[in-house]
Amino acid sequence: MKRGVLELIDLFCPKAYVSSVFDVDLQQMTSRGIKGIFLDLDNTIIRRDAALFSPDVVRWLQELRCRGFKVVVVSNNSHKRVSDLVDPLGIPAVCRAVKPWKRPFRRALEMLGTEPRETALIGDQIFTDIFGGNRMGLYTILVKPMPGGEFWGTRLFSRQLEKLILKKIKKFF
Ligand SMILES: [Mg+2]
């Protein structure tokens, strides 16, 4: 395959692929020099049909802090949904982010004060989270989407294409 095509495929490939955020190796992230983490919201740390974080997720978010990671939520969802969830925990957020555009990621980097190479992104969608994060040079981690409702556009279009890409990249994980 031509080099350009391979580079394009690379942009859709996460650096790691795990079942859930709880399977992210935080020790390894520290060893890699990761200092900041961008977190997707819906179907990554909360079901899209839920109004509260599960206690497990709250504990995990606390652990991130204890380990010294700076965290920002980067979500395409509305200001109300995002701030209702993260404000009580004191986590900053970029909402209505229009991922995969670079602007929200640049803003999130400014908020954390980290460089792309020392920043990870954890999300459940290849075309918004992973593609956007890779374009910015972040360490991208794909998680399996949590069960629960999904935006119809995601279900209809993105997930079908993701299936094709995952089939291709599965052999690497
Ligand atoms: Mg998501």
Q: So what's the pLDDT on residue 172? A: 60
**Any idea which residue has 């640049």 for tokens?**
106
What is the CATH classification number for the domain harbouring 143?
3.40.50.1000
The answer as to whether 38 is a domain residue is yes
The answer as to whether 66 is a domain residue is yes
Q: What residues pack around ion ligand 1 (CB closer than 5 A)?
A: 40, 42-44, 124
The answer as to whether 135 is a domain residue is yes
Q: So what's the pLDDT on residue 79? A: 93
Contacts for 98 with CB less than 8 Å, ≥ 6 apart: 76, 104
The answer as to whether 4 is a domain residue is no
Q: Domain of residue 113: give its range.
A: 14-172
The answer as to whether 88 is a domain residue is yes
Q: Could you read off the pLDDT tens digit of each residue along the chain, which spans 173 residues?
A: 566 777 777 899 999 999 999 999 999 999 999 999 999 999 999 999 899 999 999 999 999 999 999 999 999 999 999 999 999 999 999 999 888 899 999 999 999 999 999 999 999 999 999 999 999 999 999 999 998 766 666 766 677 778 877 777 766 66
The answer as to whether 9 is a domain residue is no
Residue 1 Cα to ligand 1 middle (Å): 31
Residue 42 Cα to ligand 1 middle (Å): 4
User: How many structural domains is the chain composed of?
Assistant: 1
Q: So what's the pLDDT on residue 99? A: 87
Residue 3 Cα to ligand 1 middle (Å): 30
The answer as to whether 3 is a domain residue is no
